[in-house]
Structure 1
Amino acid sequence: MFKTWNECVIVDLPDLDGIQIVWTPAEAATLLSEHWPVSHGSAYNAALNACTDGMLGTASHDQARQTFISAIEEAKVRMMR
């Protein structure tokens, strides 16, 4: 099992019913690659790379989480705090 983030990220994606509670880079990478409303943008690319690297252990979990939040902001996805 993957190590979880200290704080989850909660997003509301238009293609999925209900909110998504994201605890790991793996969950974030899945949302980015399979359910994200846009598939371009510098924050999107950085987040996909950082979350994949976080899954592999070659990037920090904090870095993966921060880039995922940047992708949320770039795509104008609703995030709950």
Structure 2
Amino acid sequence: MFKFLVAAFVLLPLQCAAAKAPSRICVDKVKALCGARTVTTCFVYSSSWQSVDERCLQDVELMIELEKTGPRRPAR
């Protein structure tokens, strides 16, 4: 049991860090949809949300959040 908890404690931050980057496919789809507008501006309109593949919705939310906060940089 202890080994499982240690493994989960060590691997969880690695999985979370990997989840902090939107997929390239979704980024390309959003760029094609939004053009020169920022993702935040583009997705103010509900029609933009309806134009995105369901599998990219979380990535779009992440792109909007990254625009607001800036990319996270690993601590050194």
More strand, by proportion: 1
Q: TM-score, normalised by structure 2?
A: 0.32
| Bigger-Rg structure (1/2) | 2
More helix, by proportion: 2
Q: TM-score, normalised by structure 1?
A: 0.31
